[in-house]
A and B are shown apart, each in its own frame.
Chain A
Amino acid sequence: MAAEDLPSEFDVVILGTGLTESVAAAAFSRVGQRVLHVDRRSYYAGNWASFTFSGLLTWIQQHHEEPLPEEAQDWSSLLEEGEELIHLSHSDCASIRNLQVFCFTSEEDEEEEAPNTTEEETGGAAEDSECADSTEEETKETGEEEEEVREEEEVREEEQTTPSAALRQSEPTKKKISYAQLLKEGRRFNIDLVSKLMYSRGSLVDLLIKSNVSRYAEFKNVTRILTYRDRQVEQVPCSRADVFASRQLSVVEKRKLMRFLTSCVEETEEQRAYNGRPYLEFLRDRQLGDNLQHFLLHSIAMVTEDTPTEEGLASTRHFLRCLGRYGNTPFLFPVYGLGEIPQCFCRMCAVFGGIYCLRHSVDGVVVDRDSNRCKAVIDSRGQRITCSHFVVEEGYVAADRKRVATPTRFLSRAVLITDGSILPSDSDQQVSMVTVPPIAAGCPAVKMVELCSSTMTCMPGTYLVHLTCQSVGSAYEDLSPVVTRMFRTPESHDQETCPSVLWCLYFNMTDGSGLEAEGHNLPSNVYVCSGPDGDLGHELAIRQAESIFQKILPEEDFCPPAPNPEDIIYDGDNTSSSAGGEEEKEENDGVAEEEKQEEEKEMLEEEKEMLEEEKEMLEEEKEMLEEEKEVLEEQNLQTEE
């Protein structure tokens, strides 16, 4: 490409295109700062990225390669008197480790494999022998992994001795999707490196709406919340409607749950008495029974057994607040995956004049010794670029310069491509959040998200399943026991009814919440952004971006609404002339409009609350009627006898 030179002066240079950096970029550019936004990678969003299938395979390969020894370039000729250079890191490998890949499906379409065999029969031997090659090919990395493969082969051999070809019935079943098909349809996948959901009243959704960045993306509701309990996947009733419709709960349980949910909206003396004591204890003392206790602790509050009551209640309230804004659950998911979100903010930055350069890094920060401030950066092509502020993703900062929690915390991640939903229902297009409590003492609680193909993250006929937990061991150690139990893999036993894993990936990622907010050994106008954390929501990233913005521009509004395209009138030939003045007017319009819309929103919300109260009353009435009906039915039965 004809290498155009970058301008040599900016207000803010931002390195890394993760969520935090991208939000900051949009915010700065929006209020007129000149922003240069670069990333050494060839794709947007860093550890927040999503990939097509082949894109993910490339990413995996890159993280297996030994990082080239970093030889610091000598840029001393670009420095002036009284300046020194802080070198930045180029290697991408520190934050990702323990990658393991398994393919459990056949390499190619096997034509001779009769498509008319039942699930049970294909489940065992036939399939397993098919995938031997691909498994080996996929996992030729480290010695540790070879061991894994061997283990699998043993299992396979055992299974092969069981007589499986007994009865071949003519009942047609769908053929298992081959690895070749996954590759062929690979563009239909958008596989996220992080797995999060958007709380419908969380700070990310609020920011997307406030800034109008939301216009660049579309969303889907998470349609149901599931939990894994007693080796069973169950649906968690979470809205009032769900509670009333639930078939798992008795009438008594329904009433208890409703009463509990209503009572915890407000903070009470009774609750305060439990401050500091486990939420589990609080729940126990409410005598809700095992069912409800499980739902409330694991699926609604999504906390562990030793989380203190005030925290458990706060999570429960947040969950309840988010219900009913867009759908039946508190969560949203972006169509095409989470990797879209940073890109949307980058787009907003570009619209307001931000300049984007991928495959382009910053080699070093030029520091003025006297003031200990960053004056400029040297980019990877040796260009000196003056800037007033430098925002950088933590991955680029050498370990001895940043302050992080010790020992380093990691997240364990697994990504599965499966051939069926974990809880089949009328619709095959469900988006499910699944909570999996620790399967044994000392094991982590696992958050799982199952995505269907209409989220545009996987090919039709497959599901994309993301598992995440705080790591205790390696991702494989932490998550494979859950996978083996809940899905069919060559290692699992008697799981004929579970969906099969076609392909899966395990890896660990540094937990971004380990980065300290302050105390880095860096100039005061250099700001470090953390990578993804393990929380389900996006609070950390948004909070961090806003706080960086406010440190630099305390007087400015953070991401005010961009004008709507509909509001920009093209009056015939006078299109490009009055750009400057127009812009200001548009900005004001935007603010006024926002206020109006805020008001409208408040009114609507009040109205909604009233309606909800009304609905509650009606529902209570209905409940009573239902009880009456039950009694009558009982009487009926007795008279029949």
Chain B
Amino acid sequence: KSGRELGTFCFQDTGVGKSSIVCRFVQDHFDHNISPTIGASFLTKTVPCGHELHKFLIWDTAGQERFHSLAPMYYRGSAAAVIVYDITKLDSFQTLKKWVKELKEHGPEDIVVAIAGNKNDLGDIREVPMKEAKEFAESIAAIFIETSARNAVNVEELFQKISKQIPPLENPEVDSNDSFKLTRQPAPSARRCC
């Protein structure tokens, strides 16, 4: 099987459970007081998908979303975006629409968008009806699922759905053009272009 890296990022306002979902997916772990100092550049997890292995590189925001100040550089080159809202907070569903707009403006064109209604273990204090959210997701051709990071409900499924929607790689050669990261060692230098 061939491996493939999928840049994915999670966003929405603070408190909806982004970090908890990521933590549940990658480490199958839930912590009530998730600490911002855990410190990982991005968390990774590999999921088999057909003939490919999809390695999710999940970027969590470093808190820049707290005051609606996420830098556009977060979206660069991402294959998928997960927009999380809290089903017990109508507000979080309203700001979701703002994030969708932001994504349409700044995100990559062919990005796969998934909407996750988190904390569905708290159904008795629900403020966002599932039907309404589902219809909204359909209207923007996004994946929709309700999750609970706490009870490990549908978190795996969320990423599987994303995995299925990622278009197969067309031409891996063209894709890897000559941009590179700067490292301490001199880069594989002078790949001449002419």
Contact = CB atoms under 8 A, between A and B. Distances in A.
A2 B13 CA distance: 10
Contact of A347 (B13, B62, B177): B62
Contacts of B51: none
B186 A336 contact: no
Interface residues of B, number: 50
B185 A326 contact: no
Interface in B145-194: 177-187, 189-194
Contacts of B63: 350, 353, 355-356
A512 B180 CA distance: 30
A209 B106 contact: no
Taking residues whose C-beta sits less than 8 angstroms from the other chain, chain A's interface range is 35 or more
Interface string B20-33: 00010001010100
A530 interface: no
A327 B71 contact: no
B81 to A, nearest CB: 15
B85 to A, nearest CB: 13
Interface in B1-46: 13-14, 23, 27, 29, 31, 34-42
A220 interface: yes
A416 interface: no
B71 A219 contact: no
Nearest to B39: A568
Nearest to B36: A353
A344 B181 CA distance: 13
B138 interface: no
Contacts of B109: 187
Contacts of A358: 67-69
Given A347-B71, A576-B31, A214 B186 contact: no
A2 to B, nearest CB: 6
A216 interface: yes
A608 B39 CA distance: 37
A268 B37 CA distance: 54
A576 B26 CA distance: 14
Contacts of B42: 565
Given A205-B182, A208-B182, A336 B76 contact: yes
Interface in B42-76: 42, 61-64, 66-69, 71-74, 76
Given A343-B72, A357-B69, A327 B189 contact: yes
Contacts of A347: 62, 64, 71, 73-74
Closest 5 CB pairs of A and B: A565-B41, A350-B62, A579-B37, A356-B69, A214-B182
9 contacts: A44-B72, A208-B182, A217-B181, A219-B179, A327-B190, A347-B74, A358-B68, A565-B41, A600-B185
Interface of B: 13-14, 23, 27, 29, 31, 34-42, 61-64, 66-69, 71-74, 76, 91, 95, 105-106, 109, 177-187, 189-194
Given A326-B186, A568-B39, A600-B184, 20 more contacts: A214-B183, A216-B73, A218-B181, A219-B179, A326-B190, A328-B190, A335-B76, A347-B62, A347-B74, A355-B67, A356-B63, A356-B69, A357-B69, A427-B193, A454-B179, A575-B38, A576-B35, A580-B37, A597-B185, A601-B184
